[in-house]
Amino acid sequence: MTSPRPRETGVRATAPLLRQLHTREVLGVLQRRGPLSRAEIVRLTGISGPTVTRTTAQLLAAGLIEEGPSQHPPLGRPARVLRLATETVSVLGLVVGVEQCELVVAGLDGQLHAGARMAFPTPKDYESLISSAAEQIDQFRSISNTNVLGVGITVPGLLSRHDKRTLISPNLHQTDGRQLGLDLQRVTGLEVAILQETHALCLAEKTYGAARDVANFAMLDITGGLGLGIVDGGKILGGYNGLAGELGHVTVELDGRTCGCGNRGCLETVATDAALCTLVGERLGTRLSADELLAQLKSGEIHAPRELDRVLGYVAVALAAVINLFNPQKLFVYGRLLDLGPRIFDDLTERTAGRTLAPSLADCQIIRAQGNKRQGAVAGIIEQLMSDDSR
């Protein structure tokens, strides 16, 4: 005798789906709250005790969580706590930058391992980029006493949502048309998650920074290029292909400097750390990396008040545009030039106030980003591993 077919109501509550939802809920509460006893997981999630017991047993067997030391409450028996795995498994985060790539290591709790960082110059051709990244990953795996579960990658440029292909990267053209995540997965055999770098910053802030429990916020990255990430209703606003937010390629100077995208006068040519490096380098007749320039500006070896004033003015234009267009609850700014003095950030927010619609600004808090791209890369692969139906 066959059972009647259930009436379609959108999502079907099958047993595998329920197990998946319980798994994600348990992992999520451990990620948000840290080590917890089984009783605390029951209380915080509302999942029944037997289901939590079964789910945590599966996660322990899969190596995604591990038992920590016992808690000793004032009343009752001691209870062993559960935490996201840190001792037996790890994940890697690869930040692909214009000048340099960084490889970092973390546990599933997202905490970066102190001292476990490798950096190498970004190769100028794609094949060398793949081989260099794979070599660094293999080097770490050969000396690690943990099981590496996967790699998260952040990349600049326009990353297609559909096939994870970089359509164009104005500042890293060697990745144009390439599927960096898929290619690195083939070479290393590891699971790979690839994120556009500003989306990675959003994820880092949402997971580990000041955007926890914030449903509507924006992230402006003013480092090598100018990237914008918008989180609306708790989800990243990607548009049709995942390319939304390219504020950096809005023209602000009709006859301005040629941008890496091929246009002239784009906002990112005048409102970033890289733009400051270019302006100061042209005046001094030399080429400076961001590391070199910022170090010399901090030490007082170089003074660049005019160049800094110009760049901050355009960053304020960018911030005002974000506030006027998207009305975020919080607006995070990620950039190294903000470290150049104790008043830099205050100066920037004052300039922004003068260019923003007052009602929109009144409801928006402008904050320096607490997260970074390394954390974003790690958060990306952890999120992918935790949402894998097979786990």
DSSP label at residue 173: G
Quickly count: other Cβ atoms within 10 Å of residue 368's Cβ.
13
Average pLDDT over residues 190-206: 96
Report residue 329 as tokens.
């609850």
Query: What is the residue whose two structure tokens read 């901090």?
Result: 298
Quickly count: other Cβ atoms within 10 Å of residue 50's Cβ.
9
Q: CA separation (Å) from 95 to 105, 167, 194, 251? A: 12, 18, 10, 28
Structure confidence at residue 11 (pLDDT): 38
Residues of the chain with CATH 3.30.420.40: 89-202+374-386, 212-369
Query: For residues 241 and 168, is the Cβ–Cβ distance under 8 A?
Result: no
Domain 15-84 is of which CATH architecture?
Orthogonal Bundle (1.10)
How many helices (H) does the chain have, and how many strands (E)?
Answer: 12, 15
Select 212-369's CATH number: 3.30.750.24, 3.10.20.30, 3.20.20.70, 3.30.420.40. 3.30.420.40
Residue 3 pLDDT greater than 90, yes or no: no
Average pLDDT over residues 180-184: 97
Residue 19 pLDDT greater than 70, yes or no: no
Q: What span, in angstroms and rounded, lies between the C-alpha atoms of 178 and 36?
A: 42
Element (H, E) at 143: helix 126-143
Domain 89-202+374-386 is of which CATH architecture?
2-Layer Sandwich (3.30)
pLDDT band for position 177 (cuts 50, 70, 90): very high
pLDDT band for position 274 (cuts 50, 70, 90): very high
Structure confidence at residue 69 (pLDDT): 75
Structure confidence at residue 96 (pLDDT): 97
Query: What is the residue whose two structure tokens read 């545009």?
Result: 321
Strand partners, 217: 231, 330
Rounded to the nearest integer, the mean pLDDT of the chain is 90
pLDDT digits (tens, 9 = 90+) for 21-61: 888 899 889 988 889 999 999 999 999 999 999 999 989 98
Structure confidence at residue 10 (pLDDT): 39
Q: What percent of the chain has pLDDT over 70?
A: 92
Structure confidence at residue 2 (pLDDT): 39
pLDDT digits (tens, 9 = 90+) for 294-353: 899 989 999 999 999 999 999 999 999 999 999 999 999 999 999 998 899 999 999 999
Helix axes 38-45, 15-33, angle to 10 degrees: 110
User: Which amino acid belongs to residue 304?
Assistant: A
Residues of the chain with CATH 1.10.10.10: 15-84
Q: What span, in angstroms and rounded, lies between the C-alpha atoms of 167 and 181?
A: 13
Structure confidence at residue 15 (pLDDT): 55
Q: What span, in angstroms and rounded, lies between the C-alpha atoms of 191 and 96?
A: 17
Least confident piece of the model among 94-98, 149-153, 291-295, 363-367: 291-295
Average pLDDT over residues 161-185: 95
Average pLDDT over residues 60-71: 82
pLDDT band for position 263 (cuts 50, 70, 90): very high
| Phi and psi at residue 356, to the nearest 5° | -110, 150
pLDDT band for position 1 (cuts 50, 70, 90): very low
